[in-house]
Every structure is written in C-alpha cells, then in structure tokens.
C-alpha cells in the first residue's frame, strides 16, 4: 500500500476521491452452513479488507489535504435486517462489515472536509450482477458520482441508494 500511496502522491500530490468498487459474490445461493472457509475468506479479503486497507492508507492523506470523498460500494443485502436469511452469508457479512467500516472511518473525519459514505448501486448489469439485472451501469453511477462530489456540508457516514438514505 505504501508503494501505491507514494506513487499517487508523487504523480498527483493528493488523492481527492476513492471509490471502493471491487467485489465478489461467489456464494449467491449457498447457505452460510455450506460456504467453505476458503470462499468465506476470499470474499472478506476482497469486499472488506481491500476497502479497509485503502481507506486506512488514503484517508490520512485526504485529511492532510483537507479534502476527500470516499465512496464504498455496499449492498442492501449487507444491512442488519438482511442477516436473517442464511443465503449469501459470506457476501452479506462482508457488506455489513463494509457499512460498519464506513461509519468508523467517517467518525475519524469529523470536522474535516473528508466524507466517507456507502452506496448501494442496486442490481446492475455487470459481471457480478449478470444479464438479468434490472439496472444499467449508468443508473448506478448517478449515486456514486453524487457522493464523490459532495459539498463540504454533505453527509458523512451514511448509506444511500439513488441519493436516498437507507438504514444500515
């Protein structure tokens, strides 16, 4: 991470926007009881630890520069009320954790011009969402771009879909 941070700082001098978009969803229909430990770990590494490492590396840079916007791509499946159904447990746990990280890192940026929020893009026609998904990528991008360009008095530590706040 330090090498990546140093390269960005050397090239651009700062980082204004970080979008944590990587995600895997290999356990779509599996019960949490059927998810092997390797799959569970892989999902957490990509969906939870990847954003954790990027935020812990770059939010201090944003604070130092007194500007930054972090947008974490979470999911409506990653809220507490969705945990009762045992399907997609590794994915759900990773996205619930990502929403928790959003709140934790947002707390570290209070009184700073750095905003950390989560967004649910919805079910999007991507490699992860598949062809049956209801939304086009452009529709999902509207909420992401909105959060990436928030004013200084914009929300921090919140979860959105289509600019509407959702409960975690």
Strand 17-20 versus strand 68-73 pairing type = parallel
CB atoms under 10 Å from CB of 127, counted, come to 8
| Radius of gyration for the alpha carbons in the chain, expressed in angstroms and rounded | 16
State the Cα–Cα distance between residues 80 and 168, nearest whole angstrom.
6
Which residue is catalytic, options 48, 52, 67, 91?
Answer: 91
Identify the burial level of 20 via C-beta atoms within 10 angstroms of its C-beta, where 0-12 means exposed, 13-18 middle and 19 or more buried: buried
State the Cα–Cα distance between residues 47 and 61, nearest whole angstrom.
22
State the Cα–Cα distance between residues 37 and 14, nearest whole angstrom.
38
Q: Is 91 a catalytic residue?
A: yes
State the Cα–Cα distance between residues 168 and 92, nearest whole angstrom.
12
Catalytic residue ranges = 91
């Amino acid at each position: 991470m330090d090498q990546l941070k140093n390269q960005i700082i050397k090239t651009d001098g700062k980082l204004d926007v970080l979008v944590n978009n990587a995600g895997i969803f290999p356990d779509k229909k599996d019960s949490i009881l059927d998810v092997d430990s390797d799959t569970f770990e892989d999902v957490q590494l990509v969906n939870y630890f990847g954003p954790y490492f990027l935020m812990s590396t770059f939010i201090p840079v944003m604070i130092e520069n007194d500007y930054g916007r972090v947008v974490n791509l979470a999911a409506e499946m990653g809220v507490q009320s969705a945990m009762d159904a045992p399907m997609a447990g590794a994915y759900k746990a990773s996205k619930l954790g990502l929403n928790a990280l959003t709140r934790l890192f947002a707390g570290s940026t209070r009184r700073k011009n750095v905003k950390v929020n989560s967004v649910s893009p919805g079910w999007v026609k991507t490699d992860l969402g598949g062809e049956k998904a209801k939304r086009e990528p452009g529709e999902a991008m509207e909420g992401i771009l909105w959060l990436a360009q928030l004013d200084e008095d914009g929300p921090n530590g919140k979860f959105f879909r289509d600019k509407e706040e959702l409960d975690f």
